[in-house]
Amino acid sequence: MKLFIACLGTETHTFSAIPTGLESFRETMLFHGDGTQSGDLFAGPLRLWRDRALADGMEVVESLAAFAEPGGPTVRQVYEDFRAEILADLAGAGAVDMVLLNLHGAMVAEGYDDCEGDLTAAIRAAVGEDVVIGVELDLHCSLTRKLVAAADVIVTFKEYPHVDVVERAAEVYDLALATQRGEIRPVMAVHDCRMVHLWRTPFEPMRGFVDAMSAAEGHDGILSVSFAHGFPWGNVPETTARMLVVADGDGDKARATAADFAGRLWAMREETRDPSLSIDAALDRALAAAEAGTGPVVLADTSDNAGCGAPSDATFILAALLERGLTNVVSGVYWDPVSVRFCREAGEGAVLNLRIGGKCGPSSGAPVDLRCEVRAILTDARQPFGRATAKMGDVVWLRAAGIDLVINSKRTQTFHPQAFEQLGIDLNAARLVVVKSTQHFHAGFAPVAAEIIYVGGPGATAPAFAEIPLSKLDGPFWPKDADPFQAA
């Protein structure tokens, strides 16, 4: 048996001014056939697939492993070259029995609204109908008809924060292998929920919803249940949330189960509204909580989340902190390669004037001029995320006006307390910690936080879902339309 594996992904914020070109992939992850030899965060599924296949006595052919930090649309030539590389590797592999793809699901390139559908359909055309194609997707995916038609089995992450990437990869492997062996006959059904939103899975009622998805699997002919949340800032025709059910040979069962879960989700829509507060309301609440509790209050700047394609250099909350004269605050991570460069030149201990953030456009706010002490500098730093680590580039700890700021050279969201602590910052001594992240910070920061507060101020990923100008989206959607089904 021969298994072919590849990874290609990024999450495209189609309104972003940050181009996603070859440099963005190089900076995050780019391997040509040897990605499993890296400990890279985004190569986790490929590593699992290779290990499992070798243990099962298969031959493994490994192709591209490429992932870029979310940003604007991928440069056309870059996508087309990646697609050509995967197809050339596939042709060079000769006859294969299974293809497993680790894709994101919300990748848009110039001229391609649905990169995953395009790529998977091209692979299907190359291998024919008898080769099993299994796909793992981020739950923030556009589950398009083209992609579903081209694959045999699709499984998305269930958790946000995405702490189950490797578990879902194992399910893709198991289901694809059972299909290849003729033990199951997977049939996929998709139910369009007509919703555009972010759902956080650690909290009820989403916790129970995800647990019910898991509980439905493995009996009554249901092989897998996924909730594809969609990606709110991807202006493409099929970005709404969708339920996906894989059943064993029974299309009616798959459709009924998908519709049932979609109905449950719709019924919880008011309870799952975004919890974010305005900047002022969030700071008021945080200060009250900091007096009452022990440990820092963590505020999440959800509107400037690099993980959703935002610049990660917005200054709206920083400006509010300075205006209120708040001290004993840690804030980061601000993407500011220019200031990082200045700090490296000046060295640790230097005191210099820096223009922090606000560099990428209106969604970044205005830059903030501060006299800063350079407290520490790290080169090629990383931060934990799940069982792997993610690149941060060069990282600098600055102290200015009683606030500890962390800036870096490689755009990324803040995943873990280590992003700060590895510089020598004591988070337990801080009153407030402001992190640039929507939800991935939660797994790392919840254990140390007295309270977590979501802030939804201005920014590229502000959680104002009804106001995102989704001009390409097919038909109405909640929350823009109170009843998108009736409006349809």
Which residues contact Zn ion (rule: CB under 5 A)? 138, 140
- Between 342 and 385, name the residue whose CB sits nearer to Zn ion: 385
Largest CA distance in the chain: 68
**Minimal distance, residue 162 CB to Zn ion, in Å:** 6
> Which amino acid is it at 85?
E
- Residue 241 CB, shortest distance to Zn ion, in Å, is 13
The answer to whether 216 touches 246, Cβ cutoff 8 Å, is no
Residue 307 backbone phi and psi in degrees, to 5:
-65, -15
153, 93, 152, 85: which is closest to 119 by C-alpha? 85
Q: Which is nearer to Zn ion, 113 or 138 (CB)?
A: 138
3-state secondary structure of 419: helix
Residue count (the chain): 488
The two structure tokens encoding residue 340: 């990082």
Judged by beta carbon, residue 114 or residue 138, the one nearer Zn ion is 138
- Distance between CA 108 and CA 161 in Å, rounded? 22
Asked if residue 293 lies in contact with residue 430, where contact means CB atoms within 8 angstroms, the answer is no
End-to-end C-alpha distance for the chain, whole angstroms: 47
Q: Closer CB to Zn ion, residue 234 or residue 365?
A: 234
Compute the least distance from the CB of residue 140 to Zn ion, in Å. Answer: 4
Q: Considering beta carbons, is residue 198 or 470 the nearer one to Zn ion?
A: 198
Write out the two tokens for 351: 């005191």
CB 317 within 8 A of CB 299: yes
Pick 118 or 138: Cβ nearer Zn ion: 138
Q: How far apart are CA 314 and CA 72, in angstroms?
A: 17
Q: Which is nearer to Zn ion, 138 or 152 (CB)?
A: 138
Identify the CA nearest to 332 among candidates 351, 313, 348, 350: 313
CB of residue 424 vs Zn ion: minimum separation in angstroms? 31
Q: For residue 234, what are its two tokens?
A: 């991807």
Residue 272 beta carbon to Zn ion: minimum distance, rounded to whole angstroms? 17
Report the nearest approach of Zn ion to the CB of residue 117 (Å): 18
Find the residue with minimal CB distance to Zn ion.
140
162 vs 255 by CB, closer to Zn ion = 162
CA Rg value for the chain: 22
Please, what is the minimum distance in Å from the beta carbon of residue 106 to Zn ion? 8
Q: How far is the CB of 103 from Zn ion (least distance, A)?
A: 12
- Cα–Cα dist 124/189, whole Å: 19
